[in-house]
A and B are shown apart, each in its own frame.
Chain A
Amino acid sequence: MAQVPVDEKLVARCRELAAQVAGDVQTYVDRHTTVGVERVMVRALGVIGTDDQGVPLVNALVERLRVSGQLPMGASFALGRSVVEHGGSLQDAAERLAYGPELDQVDPKAAISSDVITSARKALAAATDAALDRIDRARDEREALRARFPPPNDVPHKYVIVATGNIYDDAVQAKAAAHAGADVVAVIRATAQSLLDYVPEGATTEGFGGTFATQENFAIVRRALDEASHRHQRYVQQTNYSSGLCMAEIAWMAAVERLDMLLNDAMYGILFRDINMCRTFIDQYVSRRFVARSGIVINTGEDNYLTTADAVEKAHTVLSSQFINEAFAHRAGLKDEQLGLGHAYEINPWIEDSFLMELAQAQMVRQIFSRHPIKWMPPTKHKTGDIFQAHVHDAMFNLVGITTNQSIQLLGMFSEAVHNPLLMDRYLSLKATRYVFTAARHLGEEISFKPGGRIEQRAQLVLAEAHAQLEDVVGRSIWNAIEEGAFADVKRSRTGGKGFAGIVEKAPGYLNPVLEKLEGK
């Protein structure tokens, strides 16, 4: 088996440093909540519906609690207390608090006795158990289907995207992709959704650059892929995006609608969507608590770093971020087998030995994260409208994927720089990938890299640089490091960016029984 030398001591030190980063952030996370976190808890407790303008009830409720200064106790507490004092179901309580006068009668400054908290907790107990049951049932159902129609043993799994904007067209394209051999189908999200501070409701047929992530849309694609799984006797996995201002709510929806993977990154929103870093750190933690329970595999977004920063000079930032993403994920209860750490084939293809450098990094990542379902992303930045050249470029990317045993391979599209993939583009990409994967299936087992040669040296250099960066990040603190542009050449301030106003410091009696259960308390 081709291996690059990996200094285990250095890797252990990197993990130690990343754990310090995650620990530092966790002390902040534990003391705060966000409007997004509170909304997902209300959803998990079974509250549904929108008003006549399409505003979700959970948004109306949480916003009103925030404005009236009652969010520090948690939305769950408000619901529980309302049921205790005024009766009815949690749904009734949510509607009363969101739309009625009840909330105005509460003095947010009045002291809350522990008896009141205890009785509120009691009122939430059944709904809390039901929330966890829903996640567990969906997980069991997924596992049963996977047992019945086993996905292929061979990796990399072939991952394709569909992005029509219309969920019904997406469902057709998803089935077509499964028919053509895709193992994983992702529905790309409408471009602006990460910045929406609510999740749209229902099936959607309009969206730029992709399709809105809604619970109903998740269900529609899951049905289509379940049909495809039966038809081809091979389980086809579904992916969407738990990112942006609603990452926690989307994680819940994905958990109960039986998605298999979620794009979910501890820092992506900060760097690439200018979402406030404090907000993102809190939201990513809670989203990952749902993910951990549901058995979903996350895909992290380090590949994006190389679209803004240089893929040769900044390769180590991908590795250091993978260590950090791993540490954050462990803090949220995820297992290594759920961590699809991301990286990408983004080196300028015309540089001498660019292929060797890609091979070195892919092999190194494979070895360092040996139990993780590593996500390998195709070239995008250096693709042009020359589709013939792009097809060759993707073939080289595929060759690295199969040689180094990557786990999840997002297939490149030769028309990447031109348009969303056409039906035949996806088919041709799957065909070419099948060829390369078949033709080079055991190449990695048959070769070894020249000791002290270019590939080994490159791997050693990148690990050494990643280690140096992690020492530096810990020295400066992650907060300052992001402010100073340590990742992706992007600088973000601690109080800047979107969603900062949605952060609330928890009161001493803060109540969140769903999160407690997810944390195993």
Chain B
Amino acid sequence: MHPTEPKLLRAYGDREGDGMVQMSFTLQLPKGARAREAAKRFAESHGLKEPLVSTMEECAEGYCYFVVYGHSQHSVDVTNLEVPDVEVPRLEIKEVDHRILTRLGRKLVVVGACTGSDAHTVGIDAILNMKGYAGEKGLEAYKGFDAYNMGAQVENDQLIERALALSADAILVSQVITQRNCHKENGRALVELLEKRGLRKQFVLLFGGPRVDHKLALDLGFDAGFGPGTRPGDVASYLVHRLCGEGEEHAKN
């Protein structure tokens, strides 16, 4: 292994620079020499040199599934990558509670929901519910938070009304279903609704889900985005930094 990271990276197979990748895909072709050749060409047009069709099987009538290995000719320049990410130091539960209660002098109120037709509460439950996720307790378990989980299939205006009624500090939106980008539409619609009512600045707005990242959330007009693997403590730490002073530790854009 090289001690320093090269600037132009190729995929690493079993030695540097070999560019080895695998891809698997389906083509609407019956199994045979023609299909094999088509798969090879298909891989080549993706930049794979010397493609090896390691598997060709009929996965449905008239459809073939392939696994192909090849040397990718592409490389990636890692010197100029802009990666917006929520970068705040992780705080322990005790520290979160301590900072909220000493700096804010009251509990921090958060309202969360999975909006639109999406019926999956798994994400919002993981962050808000007592039980939490991956061994970490959810915000309900914190002394510093009043956490309200409205569950799934909540309309944006319902969510806003609830946030107003509770004088919430933050609104958490979870989106699991991503068919035809409905997660983006649902998220954008909430931001627009808040803006129309002149309420956007009143809440810290967080967006989460398996297909969400910080950049997407910012693009949609949220304050921060949390993707797969996010733990309740990540969200709690962010909210503390955002709402309890420490301006310099805001999310880096």
The chain A residues found within 8 Å of chain B, CB to CB, are: 165, 175-176, 179-180, 190-192, 194-195, 208-209, 273-274, 307-310, 381, 384-385, 417, 419-420, 422-424, 426-428, 431, 489
Contact = CB atoms under 8 A, between A and B. Distances in A.
Interface string B93-122: 000000000000000000000000111111
A274 B151 contact: yes
Nearest to B61: A179
A192 B153 contact: yes
B98 to A, nearest CB: 28
A208 B59 contact: no
Contact of B60 (A191, A192, A381, A427): A427
Contacts of A307: 122
A192 B26 contact: no
Q: Interface range on chain B: under 10, 10 to 19, 20 to 34, or 35 or more?
A: 20 to 34
Given A179-B60, A180-B59, A423-B60, A489 B131 contact: yes
Contacts of B63: 176, 423
Interface string B163-181: 0000000000000011110
B182 interface: yes
Interface of B: 24-26, 57, 59-61, 63, 65, 117-122, 125, 129, 131, 151, 153, 177-180, 182, 210, 228
A93 B45 CA distance: 66
B131 A208 contact: no
Contact of B131 (A310, A428, A431): A310
A424 B65 contact: yes
A419 B177 CA distance: 9
B45 to A, nearest CB: 19
B182 A208 contact: yes
B114 to A, nearest CB: 10
Contact of B119 (A191, A419, A423): A191
Interface class of chain A by DSSP: loop
Contacts of B210: 385, 417
Contacts of B120: 191
A351 to B, nearest CB: 11
A250 B164 CA distance: 39
A194 B119 contact: yes
A308 to B, nearest CB: 6
Contacts of B153: 191-192, 195
A385 B228 contact: yes
A165 B177 CA distance: 13
Given A195-B153, A208-B182, A209-B119, 6 more contacts: A176-B59, A176-B63, A180-B59, A191-B119, A192-B119, A428-B65
17 contacts: A175-B60, A176-B61, A179-B61, A180-B59, A191-B120, A191-B177, A208-B118, A308-B125, A308-B131, A310-B131, A384-B228, A385-B210, A423-B26, A423-B59, A424-B65, A427-B59, A489-B129
Instruction: List the 8 closest pairs (A to B, CB-CB), nearest first.
Output: A176-B60, A427-B59, A192-B117, A424-B65, A191-B119, A424-B26, A424-B59, A209-B177
A454 B121 CA distance: 34
Given A191-B117, A274-B151, A424-B65, A381 B122 contact: yes
A180 to B, nearest CB: 6
A381 B121 CA distance: 12
A216 B63 CA distance: 28
A420 B228 contact: no
A95 to B, nearest CB: 32
Contacts of A274: 151
Contacts of B59: 176, 180, 423-424, 426-428
A172 to B, nearest CB: 9
Nearest to A307: B122
Contact of A208 (B24, B61, B117): B117
B122 A422 contact: no
Contacts of B60: 175-176, 179-180, 423, 427
A273 B179 CA distance: 20
Nearest to B64: A424
B224 to A, nearest CB: 21
B65 A427 contact: yes
